[in-house]
A = this chain, B = another copy of it.
């Protein structure tokens, strides 16, 4: 049925659209067929006239990095408001929240001392990490592959720089599983090493890219232990460093020097940027769709999460361009501070609670602007059954898989506070960690059509939920 519609000539399609338009989107016996036609029209609008790619170009090339608290954040918020207005929001507003203000403080530097020879290493300080200060921190390096090994060798740790060299698991087909498996070393590694007296930490980047770009991301210090400096190292340099260590017989005979300047400034004011289409029938039932506007400071944040932002704005633009008036209120949200605090998502849910808002559904895109493959849902059994009936309507556009589990960091608080059903767009994940939090996450790494198809699948789901509830 859907396939048949897909293969119809443009002319036939236009006639069907015209008929549909005349009917005023009223519910009819052939609702499923009408939905299929509306979604086809939505897809055509996006695939033929999307502004997502040009919006992404501006966000990445003209604004660039936009970590919470930075000047880039302020510029991005201004851009977001204007973009929402241009896309046709009924109203656009900024929702204030206090955000952390971590700064890198300068160029991260690292070198290895091998047989008295100094070799530069490509590193990036972990987000939220404390710097060494202007004086280099030089110490013998201890390489470990696990927290178990660290514990077994705890007597050797004192006065050293611990090098967590745990490889990203290439055998896990879905790369987010490999990330889930490896990122504990970035999150907990510094404090676990400090517990045994380490002076600093080097973490192998969470990636299986073929280049040497280091990948940053937040670390979390445990208040029980001293905060020590920590950097991520590129994969090629990680292998080189490991090789030098293997060649030296005496443990600790390879030294590493770090110089990082990261520190916190006082919390500052940031904003969620929100565009709204007011519901015609159920204005108090709120559907949220969004991505996060902040990015790490070492990249353009094109996939993470410029893609999610411009897809969100594109769905607003497409609905408006088609004259679609939602039954429920749809909020298009660019969340603040996902990367190193989640203050935007938290604020959004808390303000909703304070105001007694009714949040019926939320959808996030924060897994890159790649070809859409799946939608992941954190919903009840009954809701999932209902969603599965819509799968044939969305599958032709890429998301042929509907699965349990999924959502997004920024809409997690909504789910926790209200038990709001949430979903996450799950694009093809193979290239995501090539770019994630690395200097290579730039506009050029995003494919126009893959980005647009993500918006198509999200828009189709939002349309169905707006029309039928969940």
Chain A interface (Cβ within 8 Å of chain B)? Answer: 6, 43-44, 47-48, 53, 170-173, 208, 210, 371, 373, 396-398, 400-401, 428, 430-431, 434, 447-450, 453
- With the chains together, A401 CA to B48 CA distance in Å? 27
Chain B residues within an 8 Å CB radius of A44: 171
Check if B43 sits within 8 Å of A371, measured CB to CB.
no
Check if A371 sits within 8 Å of B171, measured CB to CB.
no
- With the chains together, A448 CA to B209 CA distance in Å? 8
Check if B170 sits within 8 Å of A48, measured CB to CB.
yes
Check if B450 sits within 8 Å of A431, measured CB to CB.
yes
CB distance from A48 to the nearest CB of B (A): 6
- Contacts A44-B171, A171-B43 hold; do A430 and B453 have CB atoms under 8 A apart? yes
- With the chains together, A74 CA to B172 CA distance in Å? 39
Check if A431 sits within 8 Å of B453, measured CB to CB.
no
Check if A428 sits within 8 Å of B431, measured CB to CB.
no
CB distance from A80 to the nearest CB of B (A): 24
Check if A53 sits within 8 Å of B401, measured CB to CB.
no
Chain B residues within an 8 Å CB radius of A43: 171, 173
Residue of B nearest to A374 (CB): B400
- With the chains together, A428 CA to B372 CA distance in Å? 10
A and B contact pairs by CB, cutoff 8 A, 11 listed: A43-B171, A44-B171, A47-B170, A53-B210, A173-B453, A371-B371, A371-B428, A371-B430, A373-B373, A428-B428, A430-B449
Check if B210 sits within 8 Å of A448, measured CB to CB.
yes
Chain B residues within an 8 Å CB radius of A398: 173
Check if A47 sits within 8 Å of B171, measured CB to CB.
yes
Check if B431 sits within 8 Å of A447, measured CB to CB.
yes
Check if A434 sits within 8 Å of B453, measured CB to CB.
no
CB distance from A458 to the nearest CB of B (A): 15
- With the chains together, A170 CA to B450 CA distance in Å? 11
Chain B residues within an 8 Å CB radius of A172: 6
- With the chains together, A44 CA to B398 CA distance in Å? 27
Q: Which of B208, B397, B447, B453 contacts A449 (CB 8 A)?
A: B208
Chain B residues within an 8 Å CB radius of A430: 371, 447, 449-450, 453
- With the chains together, A113 CA to B235 CA distance in Å? 52
- With the chains together, A173 CA to B457 CA distance in Å? 11
Chain B residues within an 8 Å CB radius of A210: 53, 448
Chain B residues within an 8 Å CB radius of A450: 430-431
CB distance from A98 to the nearest CB of B (A): 39
Chain B residues within an 8 Å CB radius of A373: 373
Chain B residues within an 8 Å CB radius of A449: 170, 208, 430-431
CB distance from A265 to the nearest CB of B (A): 39
CB distance from A136 to the nearest CB of B (A): 35
Known contacts A173-B397, A173-B398, then 20 further A-B pairs from the complex at CB < 8 Å, ordered by chain A residue: A6-B172, A43-B173, A44-B171, A47-B170, A47-B171, A48-B171, A53-B210, A173-B396, A173-B453, A210-B448, A371-B371, A371-B430, A400-B400, A428-B428, A430-B447, A430-B449, A430-B450, A430-B453, A431-B450, A434-B447
- Which of A44, A447, A453 has the most chain B CB within a 10 Å cutoff? A447
Residue of B nearest to A428 (CB): B371
- With the chains together, A430 CA to B431 CA distance in Å? 14
Chain B residues within an 8 Å CB radius of A447: 430-431, 434
- With the chains together, A449 CA to B172 CA distance in Å? 11
- With the chains together, A406 CA to B97 CA distance in Å? 54
Residue of B nearest to A401 (CB): B400
Residue of B nearest to A431 (CB): B447
- With the chains together, A171 CA to B49 CA distance in Å? 11
CB distance from A373 to the nearest CB of B (A): 8
- With the chains together, A44 CA to B400 CA distance in Å? 26
Residue of B nearest to A450 (CB): B430
- With the chains together, A170 CA to B431 CA distance in Å? 23
- With the chains together, A190 CA to B172 CA distance in Å? 50
- With the chains together, A210 CA to B397 CA distance in Å? 21
Chain B residues within an 8 Å CB radius of A434: 447
CB distance from A292 to the nearest CB of B (A): 24
- With the chains together, A111 CA to B354 CA distance in Å? 66
- With the chains together, A428 CA to B447 CA distance in Å? 13
- With the chains together, A47 CA to B43 CA distance in Å? 35
- With the chains together, A173 CA to B394 CA distance in Å? 12
Chain B residues within an 8 Å CB radius of A396: 173
- Which of A171, A208, A398, A400 has the most chain B CB within a 10 Å cutoff? A171
Residue of B nearest to A13 (CB): B171
